[in-house]
Amino acid sequence: MSDLVRFGIAVESALLEGFDDHIARRGYENRSEALRDLMRAELAKDAWDRGEHTVATISIIYDHHVRELTDRLIEIQHEHGDRVIAATHVHLDHDHCLEVILAKGPATVLKRLADRLIGAKGVISGDVTGLSILRRGARARGTRDP
Ligand code: NI
């Protein structure tokens, strides 16, 4: 890690105690690393909110007996073939399937892809998580879709 900058912050003691308890439970060895991770997470969230270049995991659970749903989900992914990196399919039980789709690109595009998959008729539940592909410590702003 290069170019470290030290700074001081003022915070209520009760808040700091709560934070220390929290980071201890999470396994952090010191506040600095916990704060760095919080900052990175916030910058990644900001990049996602702004529609910048990110990676995303889209998870869906559906009943594969629903008519034409499996074909529809495959069709949607093929329409975004330049964005979908990989997909994993798990047969959860007799009726239900879990699919996790990994995609990269502008968050605006990935959000639309996630909305279409999660919103497809017969999908029981779904979730999308956007992650920054920025290097550790890099700024979230000014990223471009390569
Ligand atoms: Ni299945």
Confidence of residue 133 (pLDDT cuts 50, 70, 90): low
* Cα 113 to averaged position of ligand 1 atoms, centre (Å): 20
- % of the chain beyond a pLDDT of 70: 89
From the CA of 98, how far away is ligand 1's center (Å)?
Answer: 7
Q: How far is the CA of 129 from the centre of ligand 1 (A)?
A: 22
| Three-class DSSP category at 30 | coil
Per-residue model confidence (pLDDT) at position 145: 45
* Residue-wise burial string across 33-56, b where 16 or more C-beta atoms lie within 10 A, e elsewhere: ebeeeeebeebbeebbeeebbbbb
Ligand 1 midpoint to CA 88 (Å) = 10
CA pair distance 140, 137, nearest whole angstrom? 9
Q: How far is the CA of 95 from the centre of ligand 1 (A)?
A: 8
Q: What percent of the chain has pLDDT over 90?
A: 73
| Superfamily for domain range 53-131 | ACT-like. Chain A, domain 2 (3.30.70.1150)
Q: Is the pLDDT of residue 31 over 70?
A: yes
> What DSSP state is assigned to residue 134?
P
**Tokens representing 80?**
């975004």
| pTM of the predicted structure, to 2 decimals | 0.73
